[in-house]
Amino acid sequence: MKNKIIYSLTIISFIFLFVIFYKGLKKPNFYQPKSELKKNIPYFSSINFFEKEIINSEDIFNQNKFYLFNIWASWCVPCKDEHMFLVNLSKINNLEIIGLNYKDNYENAKKFIKELGNPYNKILVDKDGTIAIEWGAYGVPETFLIHQNQIIKRIIGPLNTKTMKDIESFLK
């Protein structure tokens, strides 16, 4: 009698655990933060990548034009995948592309730009990641389309053909 109870409880426990794990696998839990559009860009200071001078955001985003603020790193594989899209977007006249090099080794980042080309009008350094946090980024790459000092579009992950067309539609 005691063996039957233990056997039944063991079977019920396995069935219960199987159902829980099966339901958990069928419903993935992806987290994607809410992006606040029409939000003013944060104020920050950073070091200019090539000139090694301190520059602040008011000096960068000061004109009535469109800016693409791209957070990238040389160690980021998706950043390499999206780079050709940035190069294509850099050919648009009324768009200025600002890069934020995130938690990267300077020499590796320099080599990355030399090998793949430089689509950026300016590159800023975010050695400790605090600037990216102020922007609400939670990984690389992330891209923000800015107009009149407000974020009008946020792209989480690498740029692709669809997001490139979305950006171009904003510029028209």
Tell me the pairing of strands 66-72 and 54-56.
unpaired
For the full predicted model, state whether its pTM sits above 0.75: yes
Whole-number pLDDT of residue 152: 92
The β-bridge partners of 99 are 70, 123
Per-residue pLDDT tens digits of the chain, which is 172 residues long = 778 888 888 888 888 888 887 877 776 555 455 555 567 889 999 999 999 999 998 888 887 889 999 999 999 999 999 999 999 999 998 899 999 999 999 999 999 999 999 999 999 999 999 999 999 998 899 999 999 889 999 999 999 999 999 999 988 8
Residue 171: other Cβ atoms inside 10 A:
15
Structure tokens at 84: 């050709």
Whole-number pLDDT of residue 31: 47
Parse the chain into domains and list their residue ranges.
Answer: 1-30, 39-171
Spatial CA neighbour of 90 closest among 75, 107, 68, 59: 68
39-171 fold: Glutaredoxin (3.40.30)
